[in-house]
Amino acid sequence: MYNHEHVAGINDELPDRIRRAQDGAADVGIDALLLSPGPDLRYLTGYQALPLERLTCLVMRAGADPVLVVPNLEKPAAMASPAGASGLEIVGWDETDDPYALVAGLIPDARAVALDNMMWAEKVLRLRDALPGPHQRLANEVISPLRMRKSPAEIEALRQAGAAIDRVHAQVPEWLRAGRTEREVGADIAEAIRTEGHETVDFVIVGSGPNGASPHHELSDRVIRPGDPVVVDIGGTTPAGYCSDCTRTYVVGEPSADFLASYEVLQRAQAAAVEHVRPGVTCESVDAAARDVIADGGFGDLFIHRTGHGIGLQTHEDPYIVEGNDTVLEPGMAFSIEPGIYHADRHGARIEDIVVCTDDDVEALNLRSHDLVVIPEK
């Protein structure tokens, strides 16, 4: 099950992350980073703050220690988090204080500030009013390059998340059968996502028959029928905060010949993209490696989404494996490889693994077979 040593390993990295974020901001002329509750704040401080109407804001200034501004109501939680344990300065504000003025007072000379990409619009605008001078930019310009390159402790956390979701997929054939609804199967899967080592269930897609042709279909009351292909795409977040995301395609009973034909192409496409991953190649070339195989197989028009997305503290983050993204892969980058072929109104298929670019190759974090899982009718 979950290895808590890795949470500690990740917490040990927090001071270095803060230092690198400060350096990164200085490099691009940003005087202060202003981060609200969300993955960037968690990445830098370990504090999983509640997203509330009251302002919580990490103020990171050039050449000074960071300050975490929190409502006094939230101060005990902040103190109890790794942020408090690390000795980060935490400043509380009372119900009748103006926290925006408090933040502005910490950065009187700033000319450019970078705001959390996920900050609520009302907070963005109130900071604009409190800090009318500084140019507002986006913090992911600085944080995303850090988060994209995972440390060994982060890779280990993703490896554990991958193993946990693999254990869930191993049980899917027990639950998937003709006569049950997608929702019933999804409930069994959701329970297993938790019991196998996740803290939260982030999504459960059970796309049976024609529903499998809609890549982000979740669950419905459709009754699974004999011969249905079923796309099962599932993921959760572990206690360390790292996400899993894995898709396998199943068939209940006998698959049709045309389904088998497109699945065979899909399997080769997924393998070709994984094979292509190594340091120095671009994200878009990984996408092309999968897409070329599917196009050659005659299904190019039916592969209707990008090949993958980065993963870490969020299920979807940089780098995106898509045409037009010339980001060059480096060791430590983790992302999905998930081509799909979608026959509208009939069926769909997708194979998804999380992989990591290593020093000279690639490591898959989902290890179950890519073969179509044929579940005999009971």
Minimum CB distance to Zn ion smaller for 11 or for 247: 247
Angle between helices 140-148 and 14-27 (to 10 degrees): 130
Per DSSP, 256 falls in state P
245 touches Zn ion (CB under 5 A): yes
Residue selected from 56, 208, 237, 336 as contacting Zn ion according to rule CB under 5 A: 336
What SS3 class is residue 138?
strand
Residue count, binding to Zn ion (CB under 5 A): 5
How far apart CA 35 and CA 22 sit, in angstroms, is 13
List, as one string, the DSSP characters of 92-152: EE-TTS-HHHHHHHH-TT-SEEEE-TT--HHHHHHHHHH--SSEEEETHHHHHHHHHS--H
Going by C-alpha positions, the residue among 289, 276, 233, 267 that lies closest to residue 370 is 267
Minimum CB distance to Zn ion smaller for 81 or for 238: 238
Q: Quick one: which segment of 54-62, 70-78, 178-186, 333-341 binds Zn ion (CB under 5 A)?
A: 333-341
Minimum CB distance to Zn ion smaller for 43 or for 320: 320
Output the smallest distance, CB 26 to Zn ion, in A: 34
Distance set, CA 359 to CA 263, 277, 308 (Å): 31, 11, 20
Q: Quick one: which segment of 25-33, 140-148, 285-293, 336-344 binds Zn ion (CB under 5 A)?
A: 336-344
318 touches Zn ion (CB under 5 A): no
Minimum CB distance to Zn ion smaller for 17 or for 309: 309
Output the smallest distance, CB 274 to Zn ion, in A: 14
Site for Zn ion in 164-203 (CB under 5 A): none
Output the smallest distance, CB 300 to Zn ion, in A: 21
How far apart CA 303 and CA 338 sit, in angstroms, is 10
Per DSSP, 198 falls in state -
Site for Zn ion in 84-113 (CB under 5 A): none
C-beta neighbour count of 61 within 10 angstroms? 19
- What letter represents residue 166's amino acid? D
Output the smallest distance, CB 39 to Zn ion, in A: 16
Minimum CB distance to Zn ion smaller for 100 or for 303: 303
Output the smallest distance, CB 151 to Zn ion, in A: 22
Residue selected from 233, 284, 287, 317 as contacting Zn ion according to rule CB under 5 A: 233
Minimum CB distance to Zn ion smaller for 188 or for 352: 352
Q: Which residues, listed in sequence order, are joined to residue 109 by a DSSP beta bridge?
A: none
270 touches Zn ion (CB under 5 A): no
Q: Quick one: which segment of 26-34, 190-198, 225-233, 273-281 binds Zn ion (CB under 5 A)?
A: 225-233
Site for Zn ion in 338-377 (CB under 5 A): 352
Q: Are 141 and 116 in contact (CB under 8 A)?
A: no
Minimum CB distance to Zn ion smaller for 74 or for 245: 245
Per DSSP, 51 falls in state -
Per DSSP, 235 falls in state E
Residues in touch with Zn ion (CB under 5 A): 233, 245, 247, 336, 352
